[in-house]
Amino acid sequence: MDAPLVGLEDASLADRNVIGGKAAALADLLSAGFRVPTGFVVTEAAIDQEGTIIDAPVLREWAVRTGARLFAVRSSGAAEDLPDASYAGLYATFLNVRADDLAGAVERCFASARTERVQGYRNQRTTVTRRQPMAALVQAMVDADSAGVAFTVNPFTGVDEVVVTAVTGLGEPLVGGETVGEEWAVGAERTERSRSHSPPVLVEGQATAVAALAALVAQRYGSPQDIEWAFQGDTLFLLQARNMTAVPSPTGWNPPGPGLWMRNFRLGEWIPDAMTPLFADWLVPVLERGYLDGMKATIGTVVPFRYASVNGWYFNAAPIPGPRLIARALIQSRGRIVKVLFNALVQVSRNPVRADRAILAALYWQWKDSHLPAYRKLIAALGPGARRADRQGLIATIDRVGLAAGQYLWFLAIVGGSAWKMESRLAKFCREHLGSEFEAELDGGVQILLRGLAGAEPSVPAHAVQSLDWYQPTVGELPPNPTLFSPTRQAELAEQRESAEVTCRRALAVQPKTLAQFDALLRVAQRYAVIREEQARDLTLGWPLLRDCVRRLGELMHADGIIANPDDVFFVIRQQLETTTSLAGEVEKQRTTWKRQTRLSPPLSLGRPPRLIGDLVARMVEDARGQRQIPEGAIVGQPASAGRATGRVRLISSPADFSDFKDGEVLLARATAPAWTPLFSRAAAVVTDGGTLAAHASLVAREYGIPAVVGTVDATRQLKTGQLVTVDGTSGYVFPLA
């Protein structure tokens, strides 16, 4: 008969099937000299058929013998911590248990093995098909000053570095997903704090000590490890070690070509996640082709904008001008390209009034009077026949609508895209002529001058999207969630704006020439703020039809036995749409790759800007932020909507989470799109990973008069739902408070 209790120091020789994987690993590590808290293992032989400890006094004697005052009780199943089945977090854990209470804690630990979630996990594993024996591991509690986890391979990117996450005190809130901690990345050539915490949890020496401990465990077992650790004073304890499961292949973020590549401009602003295969392989090239068609119709030539998919994420870069490209463009456009691009790209940031008169106003009316009506007419004409079309007919419809949407995008980029450049010029003008103190007096800076404008009120039409990726439903397909932007709020913002205008004009009254310049600049900036919202609203007019056509293609392919489910069509590529053979294996492979890519945290930019051009976005951000220094512990982003607000974070991943959002919370998301507009009326502030000063979150936040910080890169990883933060949209900083 197996011994009911086994000392951890003796357990390295015991049968793993009796003491369980966790105890076996810690016993082995203890015997190898690792600092593991003392303890013992309670095997199933100590439990009767009703799940009750057979001899509770003996259990207490073992506890007293350890010399500890408090204990941790954890499961140790035979099927735990296997290469393909970690069972992490599925069994119950009990901390700070007194010796007199150990029997009850051990009984509850054994009982947790019979829960539905453990059974469900077991049924998903190919190597674990029935209930396996388990034990309970009892160890002396570590009075932790700090604790956490460490992965010997980056679990998000697969990069060969140790990722250490730490919290103050016990590590259970971190392991249980209740909080996020300070994060360190420790590689061969660098050690850096990649996610801050206030106050700091570890110093660099402690982070490298944890990383070294994790590396030694991985070296012993010859595989990537996930460890739990704790510092008590200067003493580092190893609390647990298990194999990492589902380790991703290493992911590099190398620029796909020379120059600066950004994922938040043009199409990228509307694609907040990794792209599904059919969208990336088909609709993106069609939209890009339409964009160039719009350019050619406007200036008589094309200057190809480069774009690429990097690990499934959209990036684009400006053309790199060369003698041959410039000569061809000048000849084909008969010189018109110089006037258009100079005014739209350069003059608009220097003298917006002149750029408007020279070319932008004419382009706006070309869009308003010609392209927008044609886009609407095309959709109305093609829509009724979509459900009756065959595969070829559906493909042709998608190509035509996609090209028209790409042409629309050109007008949005060249006309509506001028709005943020004009705003930046307005901010710089005010700072030069009114002084930086005017921002405090206006209580919202220059952006208050662009709020409450008639015609710029946020709206959510049925064709609004959460992403241009047609895998995601449009607003018309979602449960009703009406916009709550009230006329009263609009009137309040308009009153604030008008008061701010009076303040500025009064300050400039003694300088008539400067006042006239201010009035002209203000009028054009306000007009283009409205134009940007007007154009952005209808970019996705064609998306309900595009989604209908793609889903109909999926239905036809499913009926022909090519894909297992109609929605599998989103996970094929363009050339596979006309195949007659089964794509089941290919679909599953591409879906798995996409799911992994969605978990990545890509940088906002790759590469370096051309030397003569520089980073235009960085300069605009500096203009918006002014000369403010970066405070310690702050999450840094772009100052998108001025003001300051404090509230608790609510992470929103999709419209399915909208109903959880409460008034006064801080909206945290990877990015937002028009479908998210209803949340802004209830939010205290907005924080996003992506986005720019011209992104949807920025523009709508300004209209609602709430602070916004965008372009933080990874705020969704640094912050957690329920965490208290202060959002400073004037400086572009987010301050975690708890």
Q: What's the rounded Cα separation, in Å, for the pair 557 and 646?
A: 51
**What pLDDT score was predicted for residue 616?**
55
| pLDDT over threshold 50, residue 125 | no
The total number of residues shown for the chain amounts to: 738
pLDDT of the residue at 483: 56
**What is the pLDDT at residue 720?**
84
Res 1: pLDDT? 46
pLDDT of residue 445: 67
> What residues contact 169, with CB distance under 8 A and at least 6 apart?
144, 145, 146, 147
Residue 567 pLDDT greater than 90, yes or no = yes
Helix boundaries (H) for 262-386 = 277-278, 284-299, 323-333, 336-341, 348-350, 352-355, 361-366, 372-382
pLDDT for 629:
61
Q: What is the largest CA-CA distance in the chain?
A: 99
Evaluate if residue 234 carries a pLDDT over 70. yes
Q: In the structure, what pLDDT confidence band is assigned to residue 121 with cuts at 50, 70 and 90?
A: very low
Q: Which has more pLDDT, 329 or 101?
A: 101
Dihedral of alpha carbons 662, 667, 672, 678, sign: positive
- Angle between helix axes 56-65 and 102-111 (nearest 10 degrees) is 110
Band (pLDDT 50/70/90 cuts) for residue 85 is: very low
Lowest mean pLDDT among 218-227, 277-286, 488-497: 488-497
pLDDT of amino acid 269: 86
pLDDT of residue 738: 67
Q: Give the tens place of pLDDT for each residue, 611-633.
A: 644 455 555 555 555 555 667 77
Q: Is 185 strand, coil or helix?
A: strand
CB atoms within 10 A of CB 303: 18
Contact partners, residue 71, CB within 8 Å, separation at least 6 = 39, 63, 96, 97, 98, 99, 102, 105, 138, 139, 140, 141
Average pLDDT of the chain, as a whole number: 86
Backbone angles phi, psi at 135, to 5 degrees: -140, 175
What percent of the chain clears pLDDT 70, i.e. is strictly above it?
Answer: 89
Among 430-439, 503-512, 527-536, where is mean pLDDT lowest?
Answer: 430-439
For 108, the token pair is 């509850």
> Is the dihedral angle over the CA atoms 717, 722, 725, 729 positive or is it negative?
positive
Mean pLDDT of 578-586: 89
- Token reading at 130: 């029935």
Q: Describe the strand order of the beta sheet including 605-607 as a list of residue ranges.
A: 306-310, 313-317, 260-262, 605-607
Residue written as token pair 């300070």:
182
Question: With bands split at pLDDT 50, 70 and 90, how would you rate the model's confidence at 386?
Answer: confident
What average pLDDT does the segment 367-382 reach?
96
Per-residue pLDDT at 161: 92
How far is residue 628's CA from residue 647's CA, in Å, rounded to a whole number? 23
- Domains in the chain, ordered, with CATH? 5-140 (3.30.1490.20), 146-243 (3.30.470.20), 260-598 (no CATH), 628-736 (3.50.30.10)
* pLDDT recorded at residue 37: 97
The residue that leads in pLDDT, 550 or 132, is 550
Q: Among 100-114, 261-275, 317-331, 374-388, whose mean pLDDT is lowest? A: 317-331
pLDDT band at 120 (very low <50, low <70, confident <90, very high): very low
**What integer pLDDT is reported at residue 81 of this predicted model?**
47
The pLDDT tens digits for 329-352 are 788 888 888 888 889 888 999 999
Contact 39, 29 (CB under 8 A): no
The pLDDT of 637-641, averaged and rounded, is 86
> Would you state the structure tokens that stand for residue 269, as one six-digit string?
């602003």
Tell me the three-class secondary structure of 430-468, residue by residue: HHHHHCCHHHHHHCCHHHHHHCCCCCCCCCCCCCCECCC
Is the pLDDT at 90 greater than 60, yes or no? no
Which phi and psi angles does 637 have, rounded to 5°? Answer: -140, -155
Instruction: Point out which residues pair with 667 in neighbouring strands.
Output: 650, 686
Q: From residue 308, how far is each of 417, 428, 599 by CA, in Å?
A: 21, 34, 19
**Which has more confidence, 306 or 445?**
306
Contact between 153 and 174 under an 8 Å Cβ cutoff? The reply is: no
Which residues, including other chains, have CB under 8 Å from residue 558's CB and lie 6 or more apart?
564, 565, 566, 568
Q: What one-letter code names the amino acid at 509?
A: A
What strand order describes the sheet that includes 146-151?
Answer: 191-195, 182-186, 162-168, 146-151, 225-232, 235-243
DSSP state letter for 342 = I
- How far is 135 from 66, CA to CA, in rounded Å? 19
Asked whether the predicted pLDDT for residue 593 surpasses 50, the reply is yes
Rounded to an integer, the average pLDDT of 680-706 is 83
Q: Give the model's confidence band at 735: pLDDT under 50 very low, under 70 low, under 90 confident, else very high.
A: very high
Q: What is the pLDDT of residue 69?
A: 94
Do 149 and 169 contact (CB within 8 A), yes or no?
no
Q: How far apart are CA 58 and CA 171, in angstroms?
A: 30
How far is Cα of residue 31 from the mean position of the Cα atoms in its chain?
Answer: 43
- Residue 112: band (very low, low, confident or very high) from pLDDT cuts 50, 70, 90: confident
Task: Give 350 or 77, the one with higher predicted confidence.
Answer: 350
Q: Rounded distance, CA 279 to CA 419, Å? A: 29
Where b means 16+ CB within 10 Å and e means fewer, 193-222 reads: bbbbbeeebbeeebbbbbbebbbbbbeeee
What string of DSSP letters covers 653-720?
A: -SGGGGGG--TTPEEEES---GGGHHHHTT-SEEEESS--TTSHHHHHHHHHT--EEE--SSHHHH--
C-alpha 648/C-alpha 393 separation (Å) is: 50
Distance, in Å, from the CA atom of 393 to the CA atom of 587, rounded to the nearest integer, reads 23
pLDDT of residue 518: 95
Does the pLDDT of residue 541 top 90, yes or no? yes
684 token code pair: 């205290």
The tens digit of pLDDT for each residue in 6-19 reads 999 999 889 988 99
Lowest pLDDT segment from 108-122, 493-507, 532-546: 108-122
Indicate the SS3 state at residue 305. Answer: coil
Distance from C-alpha of 379 to C-alpha of 400, rounded to nearest angstrom: 9
- Does residue 592 or residue 58 have the better pLDDT? 58
Nearest in space to 152 (alpha carbons), one of 206, 108, 218: 218
Q: Judge contact between 171 and 263, C-beta under 8 A.
A: no
How far does CA 339 lie from the centroid of its chain? 39
Under DSSP, is residue 261 helix (H, G, I), strand (E, B) or coil? strand
- Kindly state the percentage of the chain with pLDDT values over 90: 51
pLDDT (0 to 100) of residue 124? 46
Region 705-727: mean pLDDT is 89
Total-model pTM: 0.75
Task: Among 245-249, 313-317, 358-362, 675-679, name the one with the lowest average pLDDT.
Answer: 245-249
Distances (CA, A) of 732 to 85, 440, 539, 691, 698: 43, 15, 28, 12, 11
Q: Are the CB atoms for 74 and 93 separated by under 8 Å?
A: yes
Q: Position 385: which residue type?
A: G
* Backbone angles phi and psi of 154, in degrees to 5: -55, 115
Reduce the secondary structure of 374-440 to three states and give it as a string. HHHHHHHHHHHHHHHCCHHHHHHHHHHHHHHHHHHHHHHHHHHCHHHHHHHHHHHHHHHHHCCHHHH
Pairing of strands 708-710, 39-42: unpaired
For the cut 70, the answer to whether the pLDDT of residue 637 exceeds it is yes
Predicted confidence (pLDDT) per residue in 474-484, tens digit: 989 988 766 55
Q: Can you read off the two tokens belonging to residue 550?
A: 């793609």
pLDDT at 133: 76
pLDDT of residue 66 exceeding 80, the answer is yes
- Give the rounded distance of the alpha carbon of 68 from its chain centre: 44
Q: Is the peptide bond before 487 cis (omega within 30 degrees of 0)?
A: no
Q: How far apart are CA 669 and CA 317, in angstroms?
A: 25
Give the mean pLDDT of 668-673. 87
**Separation of alpha carbons 533 and 703, rounded Å:** 10
Using an 8 Å Cβ cutoff, are 707 and 645 in contact?
yes
Question: The tokens of 263 are what?
Answer: 């994922």
Residue 79: what pLDDT?
A: 53
